[in-house]
Structure 1
Amino acid sequence: MKRLRGSRLVRFGAIVGSVALIGSTAACGSSTTGSSTAAADGGSQKVDSIAAMVPKSIAEKGTLTIAAATYPPAVIEPANGGTPTGWDIENVRQIAAVLGLKVQIKIAPFDGIIAGLQAGRYDAATGEIYATDERTATVTFVTNHSSSDALMVPTGSKITSAAGETDLCGHTLAASLGSAEAALATELAGKCKTAGKSAITVKTFKSQAEVNLALSGGRVDAAVSSASQVAYVMSQTKNQFKLVELPWAPQYKTGMVLGRNSDTEKFAKAVQAATDHLIENGELQKILDEFNAGQGLIDKAEILPSTGSN
């Protein structure tokens, strides 16, 4: 697994400074429904040799329908309902540009995205979705980023560190429904029980916005989210929260998620080639520099599960 450039964890202070620049135009956790269509233009141009790899059924359609849950700074939905942005949205737009395609972004609840891919409602999905074993059993990832988790707590919280996996025993943790963070919190609860320590209560919510509201309202003690998401919320809330590192938390590969069909293997290779092109020419790094303090780029795109094992 590739590691974050510079350190295992994101440089949190740098992210706070970076995303604060876009805070005035973004609504952290606004509506989770709706859609927006935008041309796949900007810094990248179509590369004919890579576009030729796109399956005929997708090339003829010309537009990719992409599902994404609001999850700043990966997926930022403007307060006025305009076109979504964020580092993962812009990654997808540039990948599509290289493939000669446009994109239609559909904002959707996170816990329905994988099912939507399986049902064929979307061509792909994005939004810092972790490539877990459970997910790669049913959908295909083309990686372009590496992420890790952190804990968000109120500024006055008694939780000041979590050096060990049982340090959070006795607390109530929040996470998005169906997320890897929810699974991690549940795993921690099991470890507390095995160790004979006070129980962890896990509460899940339909959106990250609801997770953040539960934390700010005192209904939970802490929220488990990606490190970049925690830093984004901190930048928007004027010292209301603080970040607690989870040095034992796993690091995940993330990227563009494809639904499985007869064209998946061929399309995944096209997306992989486009991603590698953008890694090599620096375009994906520019996006991460703008939205994510430059952190998380991997050296080479990978298809998960490996090509031929779908």
Structure 2
Amino acid sequence: MPKTLKVAHLDDEDAIGIRPRNGSSLTRRRTPNMTASTTRRTTAQKARKTLNSRIAAVGAIAVAGTMLLTGCGDQTNSKEGSPKETAGGSSSTAAASENKLHAMLPQAIKDKGVVKVGSDIAYPPVEFKDDSGKTVGIDPDIGAALGKELGVEFEFENGTFDTLITGLRSKRYDIAMSAMTDTKDRQNGVDSDTGKKVGEGVDFVDYFTAGVSIYTKKGDDKGIKAWSDLCGKKIVVQRGTVSEDLAKAENKKCGDKGKITIEPYDNDLEAQTRLRAGGGDAGSADFPVAAYAAETSGGGKDFQIVGEQVEAAPYGIAVAKDNAQLRDAIKAALDTIIKNGEYKKILDKWGVAAGAVTEAKVNGGS
């Protein structure tokens, strides 16, 4: 979550419309591996030199041949997409692919059957808790789809956004998936404020594209239409995000117009609450998040987006540098759900199809 809101997916920076949620969460159920096993039976018998025994042997061969032909017929039907297809569109061919993907995982992941995911679960619609307390959103749905292909569960654990990479380094999490923008600084373990190296960095598997937006109280934009209009005003943001970085960068250009007062919070919902109460002039977040807030907060009466989204960049699933095996397995699974259409279904559900990628990339951010 580099909550670096870069929503302008797919190379074009088209605005991503967020549809109102229908209140339901996408429930994904892992299906058991569809591994076909073939049992061969062989019997050694002394050949009898009688016509009857020869006829019996020929009859047995005929029956066996019929069974083989029947089996082939079933497999053909499955490949053509009938009886053996699951709700997710998987066939026996896909099951074979799933087995291959599972084999790519590190043995430790196979043994526990779980990928622990560090995530700041307070960033709707990317990840958040629904009214029942269940973790839902774009990332949990994509995680469930990846887990189905890999034959493991993606288990989301809540954490503060700016501590997720630290948790990854300490092996508290296997991956971090939280609308985190893939940047060279994060890849290289460099602090974006000081330019100093603070860690070994992480690898990213890029899965979405988003830009950053500014939002204000509805009907009271304070004359803010662009980042340059924030000079002399106060902005509320989530700590450690691209939004905070952009505000700091803009501060260096303000000159006589006055500095931007930047008020960071642990999560974006806290920043929204502050702005709603009149504690700031504007807020900033990734476009999908800002658009979702504008459409849903107060029944759509609390906020409005102003200006254009900027800094379109990929969201990446962060993986430790020393875990290339897990990184490559996730990349292969992501490519699989892109090709089989499950990825598109998820983005369509959340109204963010404009942020789709056409293939998984490793470290594609700049």
Letter in 2 for 1:75: E
Partner of 1:258: 319
Aligned pair 1:11/2:6, yes or no? no
Rounded to whole Å, the distance in 2 between the matches of 1:305 and 1:120 is 24
Aligned pair 1:21/2:22, yes or no? yes
> Offset at 1:43?
3.0
Aligned pair 1:145/2:150, yes or no? no
CA contact (8 A) 1:2 1:298 kept: no
Rounded to whole Å, the distance in 2 between the matches of 1:185 and 1:206 is 16
Q: Indicate the SS of the match to 1:128.
A: coil
Q: What residue ranges of structure 2 are gaps of 5+ in the alignment?
A: 1-5, 32-86, 189-200
CA contact (8 A) 2:7 2:210 kept: no
CA contact (8 A) 2:213 2:287 kept: yes
> Offset at 1:114?
1.2
User: In terms of mean alpha carbon deviation, does 154-163 or 136-145 score higher?
Assistant: 154-163
Partner of 2:292: 232
The one-character-per-residue Cα deviations of 1:246-304 (angstroms, maximum 9, x if unpaired) are: 35x2111113211333xx11211111111011111111111010013422111111111
Q: 1:197 aligns with which of 249, 257, 275?
A: 257
Letter in 2 for 1:133: K
CA contact (8 A) 1:175 1:203 kept: yes
Q: 1:71 aligns with which of 123, 141, 146?
A: 123
Q: 1:291 aligns with which of 342, 347, 350?
A: 350
Question: Normalised by the size of structure 2, how large is the TM-score?
Answer: 0.71
Partner of 1:32: none
Partner of 2:157: 106
Rounded to whole Å, the distance in 2 between the matches of 1:158 and 1:256 is 34
- Decide whether aligned partners of structure 1 residues 20 and 61 sit closer, same or farther in structure 2, where only a CA change above 3 A counts: closer
> Offset at 1:146?
0.3
CA contact (8 A) 2:7 2:13 kept: no
1:134-173 aligned at under 5 Å gives the runs 134-137=185-188, 138-163=201-226, 165-173=227-235
Cα RMSD, aligned residues only: 2.4
CA contact (8 A) 2:89 2:340 kept: no
CA contact (8 A) 1:149 1:227 kept: yes
> Which is higher, the Rg of structure 1 or of structure 2?
2
> Offset at 1:5?
4.3
Partner of 1:270: 329
CA contact (8 A) 1:53 1:266 kept: yes
Aligned pair 1:280/2:339, yes or no? yes
User: In terms of mean alpha carbon deviation, does 297-306 or 175-184 score higher?
Assistant: 297-306
- Decide whether aligned partners of structure 1 residues 172 and 40 sit closer, same or farther in structure 2, where only a CA change above 3 A counts: farther
Q: Indicate the SS of the match to 1:21.
A: coil
CA contact (8 A) 2:243 2:285 kept: yes
Rounded to whole Å, the distance in 1 between the matches of 2:307 and 2:176 is 28
Decide which structure has greater helix share.
2
> Offset at 1:40?
4.9
> Offset at 1:3?
6.0
Q: Percent identity?
A: 24
> Offset at 1:100?
0.9
Letter in 2 for 1:48: N
Letter in 1 for 2:220: S
Rounded to whole Å, the distance in 1 between the matches of 2:311 and 2:173 is 28
Question: Normalised by the size of structure 1, how large is the TM-score?
Answer: 0.84
Count residues with an aligned counterpart: 282
CA contact (8 A) 1:169 1:200 kept: yes
Partner of 2:43: none
Q: Indicate the SS of the match to 2:104.
A: coil
Q: Indicate the SS of the match to 1:167.
A: helix
Q: 2:245 aligns with which of 180, 183, 194?
A: 183
Q: Indicate the SS of the match to 1:214.
A: helix
- Decide whether aligned partners of structure 1 residues 118 and 209 sit closer, same or farther in structure 2, where only a CA change above 3 A counts: same
Q: Indicate the SS of the match to 2:280.
A: coil
CA contact (8 A) 1:136 1:305 kept: no
1:90-101 aligned at under 5 Å gives the runs 90-101=141-152
Rounded to whole Å, the distance in 1 between the matches of 2:114 and 2:259 is 48
Q: Indicate the SS of the match to 2:353.
A: coil
The one-character-per-residue Cα deviations of 1:32-91 (angstroms, maximum 9, x if unpaired) are: xxxxxx96567376611222211212112210111111210010212332x211011111
Partner of 1:216: 276
- Decide whether aligned partners of structure 1 residues 49 and 115 sit closer, same or farther in structure 2, where only a CA change above 3 A counts: same
Q: Indicate the SS of the match to 2:264.
A: strand
Q: Indicate the SS of the match to 2:229.
A: coil
Rounded to whole Å, the distance in 2 between the matches of 1:241 and 1:59 is 45
Partner of 1:30: none
- Decide whether aligned partners of structure 1 residues 222 and 233 sit closer, same or farther in structure 2, where only a CA change above 3 A counts: same
Q: What residue ranges of structure 1 are gaps of 5+ in the alignment?
A: 27-37
Q: Indicate the SS of the match to 1:43.
A: coil
Q: 1:61 aligns with which of 105, 112, 127?
A: 112
